[in-house]
């Protein structure tokens, strides 16, 4: 199946495009009324993820509404710990929680790598269903959490502000933490390779909490495991290169090290200037980002000005995938996304002439 729109894959490869490709982290989600309707119909978030037809329906919703250059699999990073038996559940308004958090060396020792086909086969069914329905319209992105980010949820048992349990384990029992991260790196590698075999045409690793670590701890407990994953991924499938994007929220100061990991692109949040990032890494990898999602609460004029500033910061030439610097807020007015994309599609061609 030939791709009708390959801007996203071309930009990741540093190739010429007619305009800057764009997708949004969390583009399928609660800010869209049609998503809220599908979720109400499904009953729960996990029911949506586990039903391939429904997961496909919500994956396509943002593409029906907006001119986006990639689809992202509708699922969650916490499917892996769920498959490891931690009992994922969502309490309304409180975010994800685990019934059985992992707090001790004995609890870590009792864990094993999930059987991807048996325990996460529903994700691969969603991937192949989405690929079939996309019919080559845009590429499909698969994803996973980074080992460190998954470990934070597994040890804390929920979202956290201070990470005292997981960092307590890291400093008190580094060998236990390494054992857990190693297990997760194997699980993530198997999981992403299964997504690629099922049809994911690029993959992104979300390291949402890597930026909470010290510089040496980031290297040792987050980046090292992402590097290991990158080395183990299928990089050529169906006659195409499969690009890997690493996104460490708040990781701008480690850009050079992330870019040297073997990935194809680095995702940046808004705290790093794109132009500065480009000057630091040159053509080594592509850059993805990095509009502050809160810009989407401003007027169309202010949104346009920030889009213009972001494009100008990266500057003329190739290797930029436009995105938000983090997931879109559930409170975003959908029409402001239209204003954002209209501005981008109007202003970005000038940067590729
Ligand atoms: O980007 C997409 O459209 C694909 C789907 C996707 C979801 N979660 C759907 C989702 C992706 C890529 C994720 C990644 C994810 N999940 C991350 C990494 C990215 C980031 O934002 O840093 C993290 C940390 C999670 C964990 C998670 N899942 C949280 C913290 C929450 C609840 C809080 C929140 O923002 O909603 C979820 C639930 C979740 N995952 C929802 C969606 C659409 C909302 C569930 C609902 O419908 O109530």
Residue 113 has a pLDDT of 98
Could you tell me which residues come within 8 angstroms of residue 164 by beta carbon, excluding any fewer than 6 positions away?
none
Choosing from 39, 137, 197, 235, which is the catalytic residue? 39
Residue 1 has pLDDT above 80, yes or no: no
Choosing from 31, 66, 153, 225, which is the catalytic residue? 153
Read off the pLDDT of residues 133-143 as tens digits, 9 standing for 90 and up.
Answer: 999 999 999 99
- Asked if residue 143 has its Cβ within 6 Å of ligand 1, the reply is yes
Average pLDDT of the segment spanning 272-291: 97
- Asked if residue 324 has its Cβ within 6 Å of ligand 1, the reply is no
Distance 26 CA to ligand 1 centre (A): 7
Q: What gap in Å lies between CA 271 and CA 290, rounded to an integer? A: 8
- Asked if residue 29 has its Cβ within 6 Å of ligand 1, the reply is yes
Tokens of 118: 């048996």
pLDDT band, very low/low/confident/very high, at 92 (cuts 50, 70, 90):
confident
Q: Please give the model's pTM, rounded to 2 decimal places.
A: 0.97
Question: Could you tell me where the DSSP H helices lie in the chain?
Answer: 7-12, 33-42, 45-50, 52-65, 79-81, 105-109, 116-134, 147-156, 164-172, 174-198, 215-217, 224-232, 255-259, 274-281, 300-314, 334-347
Residue 276 has a pLDDT of 98
Read off the pLDDT of residues 141-176 as tens digits, 9 standing for 90 and up.
Answer: 999 999 999 999 999 999 999 999 999 999 999 999
Read off the pLDDT of residues 29-68 as tens digits, 9 standing for 90 and up.
Answer: 999 999 999 999 999 999 999 999 999 999 999 999 999 9
Catalytic residue flag (residue 26) = yes
Pick the residue whose CA is nearest to atom 22 on ligand 1: 208
Q: In residues, how long is the chain? A: 353
Distance 132 CA to ligand 1 centre (A): 24
Q: What gap in Å lies between CA 120 and CA 174, rounded to an integer? A: 29
Average pLDDT of the segment spanning 11-15: 98
Read off the pLDDT of residues 182-199 as tens digits, 9 standing for 90 and up.
Answer: 999 999 999 999 999 999
Residue 259 has a pLDDT of 98
Q: Give the count of alpha carbons within 13 A of 59, CB side only.
A: 30
Choosing from 19, 35, 66, 76, which is the catalytic residue? 76
Catalytic residue flag (residue 39) = yes
Residue 91 has pLDDT above 90, yes or no: no
- Asked if residue 39 has its Cβ within 6 Å of ligand 1, the reply is yes
- Asked if residue 76 has its Cβ within 6 Å of ligand 1, the reply is yes
Q: Which domains does the chain have, with CATH numbers?
A: 32-276 (3.20.20.210)
Could you tell me which residues come within 8 angstroms of residue 304 by beta carbon, excluding any fewer than 6 positions away?
339, 343, 347
Reduce the DSSP state of residue 242 to 3 states and report it: coil
Residue 15 has a pLDDT of 98
Catalytic residue flag (residue 153) = yes
Residue 93 has a pLDDT of 77
């Amino acid at each position: 199946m030939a791709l009708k729109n390959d801007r996203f894959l071309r930009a990741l490869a540093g190739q010429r495009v007619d305009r800057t490709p764009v997708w949004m982290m969390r583009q399928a989600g609660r800010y869209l009324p049609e998503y809220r309707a599908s979720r109400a119909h499904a009953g729960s978030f996990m029911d949506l993820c586990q039903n391939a037809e429904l997961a496909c329906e919500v994956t396509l919703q943002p593409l029906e509404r907006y001119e986006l250059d990639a689809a992202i699999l509708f699922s969650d990073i916490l499917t892996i710990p769920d498959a490891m038996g931690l009992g994922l559940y969502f309490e309304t308004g409180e975010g994800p929680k685990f019934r059985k958090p992992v707090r001790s060396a004995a609890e870590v020792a009792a864990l094993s790598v999930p059987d991807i086909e048996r325990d996460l086969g529903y994700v691969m069914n969603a991937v192949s269903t989405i690929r079939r329905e996309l019919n080559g319209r845009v590429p499909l992105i698969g994803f996973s959490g980074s080992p460190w980010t998954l470990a934070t949820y597994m040890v804390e048992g929920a979202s956290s502000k201070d990470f005292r349990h997981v960092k307590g384990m890291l400093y008190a029992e580094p060998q236990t933490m390494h054992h857990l991260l190693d297990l997760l790196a194997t699980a993530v590698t198997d999981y992403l390779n299964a997504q690629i075999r099922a049809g994911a045409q690029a993959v992104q690793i979300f390291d949402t909490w890597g930026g909470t670590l010290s510089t040496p701890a980031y290297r040792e407990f987050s980046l090292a495991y992402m590097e290991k994953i990158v080395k183990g991924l299928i990089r050529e499938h169906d006659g195409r290169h499969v690009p890997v994007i690493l996104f460490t929220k708040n990781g701008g100061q480690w850009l050079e090290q992330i870019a040297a990991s073997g990935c194809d692109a680095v995702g940046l949040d808004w705290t790093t200037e794109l132009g500065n990032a480009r000057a630091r890494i040159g053509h080594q990898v592509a850059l993805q980002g990095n509009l502050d999602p809160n810009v989407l609460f401003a007027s169309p004029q202010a949104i346009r000005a920030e889009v213009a500033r972001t494009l100008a910061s990266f500057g003329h030439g190739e290797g930029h995938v436009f995105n938000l610097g983090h997931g879109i807020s559930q409170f975003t007015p959908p029409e402001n996304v239209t204003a954002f994309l209209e501005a981008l599609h109007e202003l970005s061609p000038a940067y590729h002439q």
